[in-house]
Every structure is written in structure tokens, then in C-alpha cells.
Amino acid sequence: MEAARRADEAGFDVAELHAAHGSLLHEFLSPLSNQRADEHGGDFAGRTKFLIETAEAVRAVWPESKPLFVRVSGTDWIEGGWDVEQSGRLAELGVAWRDAPYPPQYTRGKWDDVVNTA
């Protein structure tokens, strides 16, 4: 969270969590890479928990007046991986999945679509 504080102090207007393309956050989302048997693995709720916890922690130090974007992969493009259906379920939690340049943003306990809030 220190990086988010420093980015704000440096004058950045937007922060982005990268949960796509094999990043650590994406590895938690994908059932192919996430083989955990704890609260951060297994079913959809478990696999999305780390992303939500991370977004909440960053949002706690990132100013409400500034957007926090979250980039996600729409699909792993392989059977048994993260797919469009799961991206849709993530959208139902409030994450409006889209390709750039319209990433979703996280605002105090709720995912918003930047397009609809700008």
C-alpha cells in the first residue's frame, strides 16, 4: 500500500492493479494456476478474494477522488482456465470487465465502470 501512497504524493491521477496476463493477481483468479486449498483458492469466491482484498487495501490509502483501475484478462484462452463466464461473474460483483481503455475501478467496497462514472 506504500506504493499507492507514494504514487499519490508524486501526483499520479490514476492507479491500476494489474490482474491480467499471468500477473500474480491473475494467477489467483485462474483455476489453472491457483491450486490453493485455503481461503484464496478453490471456488470462484476463493479465487477472487485476493483481488478484492488487494483492491480494498489500496483503496484505503488511495484518495476517493482518484480512480483505482483493475485490469483483468477476459479469458485464459484454454479449457479449464479463467473464461468469459467467470469474467461476467466478476462483473456481477461490480467489476465491469472491458478491454482497455475502459478498465473497471474500485471505489470503497464497490466496483464501478469508469465509463459510467466519468
Could you give the CA distance from residue 78 to residue 90 in angstroms, rounded to a whole number?
A: 18
| Cα maximum dimension of the chain | 43
What does pTM read for this prediction?
0.76
Mean of per-residue pLDDT scores for the chain? 81
**Does residue 107 carry a pLDDT above 60?**
no
| Start-to-end CA span in the chain (Å) | 25
Could you give the CA distance from residue 118 to residue 107 in angstroms, rounded to a whole number?
A: 13
**Does residue 7 carry a pLDDT above 80?**
yes
Place of cell 472491458: 98
C-alpha cell at 118: 466519468
Residues 6+ positions from 12 with CB-CB distance below 8 Å: 66
